Amino acid sequence: MVYVASTTAPVNIATLKYWGKRDKDLNLPTNSSISVTLAQEDLRTLTSAATDEGFTQDKLWLNGKEESLDSARTQQCLADLRGLRQQVEAQDPQAPKMSQWKLHIVSENNFPTAAGLASSAAGFAALVVAIAKLYQLPQDYSEISKIARKGSGSACRSLFGGYVAWEMGENLDGSDSKAVEVAPLNHWPNMKAAILVVSDMKKDTPSTSGMQLTVKTSDLFQERIKNVVPQRFEEMKQAIRNKDFPTFADLTMKDSNSFHATCLDSYPPIFYMNDTSRKIIRLVHSINAFYNETIVAYTYDAGPNAVLYYLEENESKLFAFIYKLFDKVSGWETKYTEAELNDFLKE
């Protein structure tokens, strides 16, 4: 008999960045981080996992193409999940011995994998949760997040919707390095994210090697993890709980800048942002100065694409500027007349 379980996991975008590993094999970070998980209908991975006594090999199909499951990280996730399943089987002699059987996994993103958007977080989160469901594991999502973390660090945060913290933990074995919910998505329902795809090229330096270079060579990085992030972690959680957008936005922008500054301080330096990314940063600061209020925040991961956070009621204020700036760029043609745009800007 074939047993099947499915799940979806959305992409999460960090507002307090994870950058630096204290243990590369276990994906243990050098600082705690915070992210916002996008809504399911936006960017997400849908994964189904099946198991049957008759399957002869573990197999994976990603966006319709068969892919290898051989990476050490994926193997570690599968081994951990099978270990937990064995405990279920030991407690219930009637339970099918799925831990001994092979898995077939089908996974699909609803966004182009090559768009330069973080897909590994949603991918590993969906993989681990689909198998945890298939195995009927009793562990809660924070426990399961430790397995997703071993696949890709930031994946642990995609197990929860809304506002999520990844607590770095202290233990050498990673037993306390896990994701926890700060607030559910509906806590702040008018929060919105816009992704400006600046380039869909593959990123310059993969995150793992980039982090290692920064940890090894940047003095600024030491300052960041000791004296900057710990306090910001508490302040950002508080801003989220209080729905204090200006504080949340200021912390988000400062942290993106701090992370990219440590990349620039790595030797040789790592450049993730390009001229267009910097143009957007200047635009966001001009918009906030124009309205004399922080209504929009930018953040950049290990690539040039911008994610903007804003409150729904400020959407037209923000987009008036975006359309004005990117009017000649395909995909960004304005839906407003020149007069309407000028009206928005006058408000």
Q: Which residues of the shown chain bind ligand PMV in the complex (CB under 6 A)? A: 14, 17-19, 33, 118, 120, 152-154, 207-208, 301-302
CB of 152 to ligand PMV, least distance (A): 4
CB of 201 to ligand PMV, least distance (A): 16
Cα(231)–Cα(225) distance, integer angstroms:
10
Identify the CA nearest to 298 among candidates 289, 311, 314, 285: 285
User: For residue 312, what is the DSSP state?
Assistant: G
Query: DSSP string of 146-184?
Result: HHHHHH-GGGGGGGSSEEEEEE----TT-TT-EEEEEE-
CB of 1 to ligand PMV, least distance (A): 36
Specify the residue, 20 or 96, whose C-beta has the smaller distance to ligand PMV: 20
Query: Residue 130, Cα to own-chain centre: how many angstroms?
Result: 18
- Contact between residue 322 and residue 332 where contact means Cβ atoms under 8 Å apart: yes
Specify the residue, 45 or 99, whose C-beta has the smaller distance to ligand PMV: 45
Specify the residue, 50 or 155, whose C-beta has the smaller distance to ligand PMV: 155
Backbone angles phi and psi of 204, in degrees to 5? -60, -60
Backbone angles phi and psi of 293, in degrees to 5? -165, 145
Specify the residue, 88 or 194, whose C-beta has the smaller distance to ligand PMV: 194
CB of 124 to ligand PMV, least distance (A): 9
Return the structure tokens found at 90: 């030991």
CB of 25 to ligand PMV, least distance (A): 13
Specify the residue, 254 or 324, whose C-beta has the smaller distance to ligand PMV: 254
Specify the residue, 153 or 304, whose C-beta has the smaller distance to ligand PMV: 153
CB of 271 to ligand PMV, least distance (A): 14
Cα(152)–Cα(208) distance, integer angstroms:
9
Specify the residue, 31 or 288, whose C-beta has the smaller distance to ligand PMV: 31
Please tell me the total number of residues recorded for the chain in this structure. Answer: 347
Is the previous residue joined to 96 through a cis bond, with omega within 30 degrees of 0? Answer: no
Q: Report the SS3 class of residue 195.
A: strand
- Contact between residue 16 and residue 238 where contact means Cβ atoms under 8 Å apart: no
CB of 7 to ligand PMV, least distance (A): 19
